[in-house]
């Protein structure tokens, strides 16, 4: 009976905002625009971090990894959301939904850890400036980035494997915009207490504990910055660290709202908007915040743009 229940569903129907077609058309345009800008912005950060020797530091190494995660994370969701919003038949195969579940969960978990790693990097840079190059040597930076990617993969394999084992009993309507663990659990036709507890524990580890560590590191950073006698030095330190803190607050805040609530709760459209925010909006905010508030990145972008323009003029000449 369990096998029949699990295999009965061959595709999912996304309810999304289908009851508000006007809103859906507006969201389609907004998501498409944000997705394109996000691809351009994060790709630019990866390019300048790789091409400009002055940016070959742990901070920009982690930032380029964050941009890569953001590109993959949003790409695992945005195209599917655009396709389902742009057609009347808002369906997705069971296999496609499960694949999206694994990929999005893994990349989202990796981003959580990367943000914590970046907080530690800023702590070492501000609180241990004389030992910074010794502490954050290239091998350690590469290892920390690898751990972030690998942890996301392992978390996804465990979390999603437990979720897809739930029998759905033919339930195929997802009252959401993409396949996500809390929404998938709502479709189950059996007691999901174990899955809800497991999801809550994983959320506490990835959200509450990591956020606590990040805030603790910024507490030490604030103390160190306040001890800097130079006003210019304090301003530069606060500017660099506040950019990261803004990203952390926005990203973690929306995910905490989505994942640290009972899986059976009725969040309706509110949950859909929150999911849109941390999958579509936040990945765009990363390059905007880091480029508009960072002189090094802006200078590297200008140099890269001017170099490309100069090379183009020489070819035409």
The better pLDDT of the pair 306, 223 is held by: 223
pLDDT tens for each residue of 84-102 = 888 878 888 999 999 999 9
Q: What is the pLDDT of residue 2?
A: 45
Residue 59: pLDDT band with limits 50, 70, 90: confident
Higher pLDDT, 313 or 59: 59
H or E stretch at 14: strand 11-14
Average pLDDT over residues 280-293: 75
For residue 211, give Cα distances in angstroms to 29, 256, 289: 33, 10, 20
- Predicted structure pTM score: 0.85
- The string of pLDDT tens digits covering residues 300-309 is 767 766 655 5
Instruction: At 247, list the tokens.
Output: 């990203």
Q: What is the pLDDT of residues 192-217, one digit of tens each?
A: 889 888 888 888 888 889 889 998 98
Confidence of residue 150 (pLDDT cuts 50, 70, 90): very high
Is residue 5 very low, low, confident or very high in pLDDT (cuts 50, 70, 90)? very low
Q: Burial letters for 218-232: b for 16+ Cβ neighbours within 10 Å, e otherwise?
A: beebeebbeeeeeee
- CA-CA distance, 109 to 104, in Å (whole number)? 8
The pLDDT mean for the chain works out to: 83
Tell me how many degrees the CA angle 186-189-195 measures, rounded to the nearest 5: 55
**Predicted confidence band at 103 (pLDDT cuts at 50, 70, 90)?**
very high
Inform me whether the pLDDT recorded for 3 exceeds 50: no
CB atoms within 10 A of CB 295: 11
Q: What is the pLDDT of residues 64-82, one digit of tens each?
A: 999 999 999 999 999 999 9
pLDDT above 90 (res 10) = no
The percent of residues in the chain predicted with pLDDT above 90, rounded, is 27
Closest CA to 171 of 121, 97, 235, 222: 97
SS3 92: strand
Evaluate whether 9 touches 90 at the Cβ level (below 8 Å): no
């Amino acid at each position: 009976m369990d096998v029949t229940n699990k295999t009965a569903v061959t595709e999912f129907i996304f309810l999304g905002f289908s009851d508000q077609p006007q809103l859906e058309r507006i969201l389609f345009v907004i998501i498409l625009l944000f997705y394109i800008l996000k691809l351009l912005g994060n790709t630019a950060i990866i390019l300048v971090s790789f091409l400009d020797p002055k940016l070959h530091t742990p901070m920009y190494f982690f930032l380029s990894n964050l941009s890569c995660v953001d590109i993959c994370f949003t790409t695992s969701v945005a195209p599917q959301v655009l396709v389902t919003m742009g057609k009347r038949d808002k369906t997705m195969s069971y296999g496609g939904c499960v694949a999206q579940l694994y990929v999005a969960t893994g990349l989202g978990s990796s981003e959580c850890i990367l943000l914590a790693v970046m907080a530690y990097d800023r702590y070492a840079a501000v609180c241990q400036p004389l030992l910074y190059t010794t502490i954050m040597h290239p091998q350690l930076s590469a290892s920390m980035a690898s751990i972030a990617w690998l942890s996301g993969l392992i978390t996804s394999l465990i979390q999603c494997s437990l979720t897809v084992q739930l029998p759905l009993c033919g339930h195929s309507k997802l009252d959401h915009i993409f396949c996500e663990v809390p929404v998938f659990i709502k479709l189950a036709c059996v007691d999901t207490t174990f899955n809800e507890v497991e999801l809550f524990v994983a959320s506490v580890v990835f959200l509450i504990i990591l956020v606590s560590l990040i805030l603790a590191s910024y507490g030490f950073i604030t103390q160190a910055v306040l001890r800097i006698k130079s006003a210019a030095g304090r301003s530069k330190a606060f500017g660099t660290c506040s950019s990261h803190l803004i990203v952390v607050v926005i990203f973690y805040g929306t995910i905490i709202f989505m994942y640290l609530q009972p899986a059976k709760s009725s969040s309706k459209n509110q949950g859909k908007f929150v999911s849109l925010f941390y999958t579509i909006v936040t990945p765009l905010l990363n390059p905007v915040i880091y480029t508009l508030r960072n002189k090094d990145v802006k200078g590297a972008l200008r140099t890269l743009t001017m170099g490309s323009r100069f090379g183009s003029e020489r070819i035409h000449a």
